[in-house]
Structure 1
């Protein structure tokens, strides 16, 4: 019998599992190795371990899950090599603002001074600068507290990934349990700044709004619609917005800005005030002149992201939560807003053809998807056609990547589907993009997810074909991708799949995929017409100086 002075020993592993339970992080995304086995020993039945077959897929799944739930996701990677595999999607998660706590196994502390196998030199530096916080705790007993701190920082806006390196022998060390802090990180914008903004908006005769992904990420969509209707101004989606920014069937929705300075300037410069909400000012992808910045037209930006606010070349920044700021700004504006315009006309349905065109395939996909279905997209060369043929209407109904790193879309769709049980998820992905993380399909099969994977097969990197034309580059190698059998690849991982090449085959396969009990892949053979990502060619030739 123990006397009154005897205490029960708590290990780092037990304290960490207790912490994760209290934080609601009982879904763990991982790819295990020897340095993770002490954590995985006697895995508790109330935790769900989601196995990914490669670490980039693991991070992409966790990102999709975190963005779809609005909660932090927990990731367990294998050593430094595993972190290296994950870095592409870690960069994307940082740009996406996905709240993640990423842990990685480290060799035992007693061996670290001798450059051991699987040991990481200065492990906390490896994922920087694309994590908000990174640490290898100085003592084993500090691991649970470091994970708690990483969670708080990941969930402070702007959200983002954090990293904790954990030597494998730390899990059995004794420590004190950690109780999570109550955490209310949102901050309201300065009331005086909102008053000044309201006066400027009320005085403007031709204001325009540019809205970005943070509106959906904060759950501020209805407040955004109310503000736009109070102002009565057209609303554009910011360049490369990674979520729904404004309902695309709303009368005020004007369209999608390109990531090209001249197009942004030409679109906005006819207005006398630009209000940018939940987006940078602006995300560009190609060089060019943005005369808007030197036009003297006021640009007012509302954002939670201090880095995005400080990088804007001109205008006024108001920092703070959109969830608090948008209703407060609306209340300061006069109620007699401008009359709403008629909804902009939708393009006519594309004509059927064999082989099918990308616009036609997207038109039929939109018709086949249930109203509450979620679209996850990584088909960059088809994005203009998607925006024409697939208007997004439901908040939380669209996800793509904020960076250019391919290999995100399929694992992210798996994570979104895990977070959205009961809703159909459609992953729209290019043939080139699919090949970066095809193994994520195996996880969808194991989890029996209602995921329709639509592979747009134009036998190459369509975005590169388009950019070659925009940048006036000829005969570039490495663009064509012949001979890939996506149906066989999917079936080899246990996923039903069909290849289609005619309009009739397309409709039948999409209907089957939307009704399937688990995942299904549909490979669509497209014509090879080059998509147009930007309006005008760019002179990419050096001018040189004459002497």
Structure 2
């Protein structure tokens, strides 16, 4: 990454102004980067980042849109599990960035969002502009999808707000926090030197562990089950947590399922990983679930939605069900991201990774060195093969096949995929192989998420690749400027079907329900006449680009060129034309 935009002269690091305290708190909290789109409401804070800290630790990342400010911090947290900072200008920036905040909330990632308002004191406001950019209780705009917010009224309040915010956002279950800085307080000169304390005594607590009763209950279920099924949902990025999940599956002989919405948590080539990571249960997957007499969920998102795909009467589902999660600590009334209520025989309030360790230890003691898995192979993933016409016209799944073939035994990080990703030929081999979906299913996040992932992995020696939808890319394209400007390497591939295709399927579903012509589904959906030159859009942001690529051979060659650029430290873009369709069609209401 380029170390650019350093000031020629940086004065003493002593805090002299209210905003200096806020900036120094980020340094004390070991925040390496802060993404921003400039705004006058935090001009004092901006000055402190530059002229008090020298734009280093944290370094500013200039973005062209508030959406990217948040999504870059989101992507960074996906990899590291730690909060990055971002800044949103006044009420208008907060309103614009709120979609990204909702994504991060639904994805349960830590993040310190710094906002600004005011000046709160009316005599300090400029006519007109400072009045429309001043809000009472600005945090109320996003309070239903943040973990905590504050609007400190003194320099000492700023210190406490950042210490508390960092502690809360990094405590499980993690979620963003918001700290709003009064413009007047930012520009207030300190009356006396400020003591900025060490954060050592303000660290987040370890995730809660389960009671011994719950550990023994789940261990007994797994030890005595005939056909146990483990659902691995949310989980940490450490290799130790990954290895513990594998040991638990192999010890119990349980079949394993994972979600394509979540980050990689289990090797999808493993013999016990019975179906590819999925959005919706396939007929084969439903048969496997019906055969299970015990289901243990490790923070599986929407567990009852999983069961509803088999029966509307989930309360009478015959399998014994245990669910390990801390997520209820974030549930509230405004958003339905808590999903429908699952029937549980053993509810466990604990961190999923810690519970894997605890139940594994209990099972090893209970089984006395015996392993219940006999070594049978239940994995049915096919060999990577292109669709029949891929040498003349690409299908959506062919991008996955091309990436799998080019990757071979190399190590990549797949930062993002489209909603129609098949997931059956591109395997996940370690905790950093895949970074999941955007959380809230809103468009424009994919490019910024990819840049955040690449920022976190810039020194890891593993290329970062993203497969984006054309709609997602077009709404988020200006994020690529930030990647080009700071030299953040990532390969962006757009699966371009020239349509808002998810909504085509919804229009088809409605037409069929109403007995109307489904062939009209494309009207108001297709992105054509003129066809948009996506490669030119990327090139306009300073990113090397090519396309449209239309065949498998062209795509593999383009991916190789893109990877060479990424390994050389540059972002690269490929526009891949695919036929309209999905490898795994989403469910539509009424189906």
TM-score, normalized by the shorter chain, greater than 0.5? yes
* Aligned match of 1:162: 177
Distance 1:224 1:51 in 2: 39
Q: Is the CA contact (8 Å cut-off) linking 2:21 and 2:196 kept in structure 1? A: yes
* Aligned match of 2:571: 519
1:299, distance to aligned residue in structure 2 (A): 0.6
1:12, distance to aligned residue in structure 2 (A): 2.9
Distance 1:9 1:24 in 2: 17
Q: 1:325 aligns with which of 343, 352, 355?
A: 355
- 1:29 and 2:35 correspond: yes
* Superposed CA offset, 1:230-281 (max 9, x none): 111110114x532113211111101235446999765412211101112134
Distance 1:9 1:37 in 2: 16
Moved more, 41-50 or 430-439: 41-50
- 1:394 and 2:408 correspond: no
* Superposed CA offset, 1:395-445 (max 9, x none): 122112232112211100001101101321101101111112111111110
Distance 1:78 1:315 in 2: 47
Q: Is the CA contact (8 Å cut-off) linking 1:133 and 1:163 kept in structure 2? A: yes
Q: TM-score, normalised by structure 2?
A: 0.83
Q: Is the CA contact (8 Å cut-off) linking 2:404 and 2:425 kept in structure 1? A: yes
Per the alignment, do residues 312 and 218 of structure 1 end up closer, same or farther by CA in structure 2, a change over 3 Å counting? farther
Per the alignment, do residues 376 and 141 of structure 1 end up closer, same or farther by CA in structure 2, a change over 3 Å counting? same
1:315, distance to aligned residue in structure 2 (A): 3.2
Q: Is the CA contact (8 Å cut-off) linking 1:99 and 1:155 kept in structure 2? A: yes
Where does the alignment leave 5 or more consecutive residues of structure 1 unmatched? 1-7, 541-547
Distance 1:389 1:264 in 2: 17
Moved more, 389-398 or 486-495: 389-398
- 1:223 and 2:244 correspond: yes
Distance 1:134 1:61 in 2: 20
* Aligned match of 1:99: 110
* Aligned match of 1:121: 136
Moved more, 335-344 or 186-195: 335-344
1:108, distance to aligned residue in structure 2 (A): 0.9
Q: Is the CA contact (8 Å cut-off) linking 2:18 and 2:186 kept in structure 1? A: yes
Q: Is the CA contact (8 Å cut-off) linking 2:314 and 2:342 kept in structure 1? A: no
Question: 3-state DSSP class of the match of 2:405?
Answer: helix
Question: 3-state DSSP class of the match of 1:523?
Answer: strand
Q: Is the CA contact (8 Å cut-off) linking 2:304 and 2:342 kept in structure 1? A: no
Q: Is the CA contact (8 Å cut-off) linking 2:81 and 2:237 kept in structure 1? A: no
Q: Is the CA contact (8 Å cut-off) linking 1:247 and 1:253 kept in structure 2? A: yes
Question: 3-state DSSP class of the match of 2:579?
Answer: coil
Distance 1:138 1:538 in 2: 48
Q: Is the CA contact (8 Å cut-off) linking 1:69 and 1:419 kept in structure 2? A: yes
Distance 1:69 1:539 in 2: 40
* Aligned match of 2:18: 12
Q: Is the CA contact (8 Å cut-off) linking 1:215 and 1:278 kept in structure 2? A: no
Distance 2:576 2:323 in 1: 41
Q: 1:507 aligns with which of 551, 556, 565?
A: 556
1:113, distance to aligned residue in structure 2 (A): 11
* Aligned match of 2:580: 528
Question: 3-state DSSP class of the match of 2:172?
Answer: coil
Q: Is the CA contact (8 Å cut-off) linking 1:215 and 1:224 kept in structure 2? A: no
Distance 2:535 2:135 in 1: 39
Distance 2:65 2:308 in 1: 35
Per the alignment, do residues 262 and 286 of structure 1 end up closer, same or farther by CA in structure 2, a change over 3 Å counting? farther
Q: 1:414 aligns with which of 441, 451, 457?
A: 451
* Aligned match of 2:379: 344
* Superposed CA offset, 1:513-539 (max 9, x none): 01103011100111234544258x764
Distance 1:395 1:132 in 2: 26
Per the alignment, do residues 202 and 290 of structure 1 end up closer, same or farther by CA in structure 2, a change over 3 Å counting? farther
Per the alignment, do residues 405 and 286 of structure 1 end up closer, same or farther by CA in structure 2, a change over 3 Å counting? farther
* Aligned match of 2:10: none
Per the alignment, do residues 247 and 285 of structure 1 end up closer, same or farther by CA in structure 2, a change over 3 Å counting? closer
Q: Is the CA contact (8 Å cut-off) linking 2:165 and 2:177 kept in structure 1? A: yes
Distance 2:269 2:495 in 1: 25
1:75, distance to aligned residue in structure 2 (A): 1.0
Q: How does 1:329-478 map to 2 (within 5 A)?
A: 329-333=359-363, 334=367, 335-336=369-370, 337-342=372-377, 344-348=379-383, 349-350=385-386, 351=388, 352-369=390-407, 371-380=410-419, 382-383=420-421, 385=422, 387-399=423-435, 400-421=437-458, 422-469=461-508, 472=512, 474=518, 475-476=520-521, 477-478=523-524
Distance 1:321 1:285 in 2: 21
Distance 1:37 1:438 in 2: 26
Per the alignment, do residues 90 and 261 of structure 1 end up closer, same or farther by CA in structure 2, a change over 3 Å counting? farther
* Aligned match of 1:3: none
Q: Is the CA contact (8 Å cut-off) linking 1:218 and 1:322 kept in structure 2? A: no
* Aligned match of 1:545: none
* Aligned match of 2:9: none
1:159, distance to aligned residue in structure 2 (A): 0.7
Q: Is the CA contact (8 Å cut-off) linking 2:382 and 2:425 kept in structure 1? A: yes
Q: 1:485 aligns with which of 496, 519, 533?
A: 533
Per the alignment, do residues 154 and 264 of structure 1 end up closer, same or farther by CA in structure 2, a change over 3 Å counting? farther
* Aligned match of 1:302: 324
* Aligned match of 2:45: 39
Per the alignment, do residues 314 and 259 of structure 1 end up closer, same or farther by CA in structure 2, a change over 3 Å counting? farther
Per the alignment, do residues 379 and 280 of structure 1 end up closer, same or farther by CA in structure 2, a change over 3 Å counting? closer
- 1:252 and 2:272 correspond: yes
Q: Is the CA contact (8 Å cut-off) linking 1:71 and 1:99 kept in structure 2? A: yes
Per the alignment, do residues 193 and 530 of structure 1 end up closer, same or farther by CA in structure 2, a change over 3 Å counting? closer
Q: 2:544 aligns with which of 485, 491, 496?
A: 496
1:88, distance to aligned residue in structure 2 (A): 0.9
Distance 2:583 2:288 in 1: 21
Distance 2:265 2:381 in 1: 18
* Aligned match of 1:108: 119
Where does the alignment leave 5 or more consecutive residues of structure 2 unmatched? 1-13, 332-337
Q: Is the CA contact (8 Å cut-off) linking 1:309 and 1:317 kept in structure 2? A: no
Aligned residues: 528
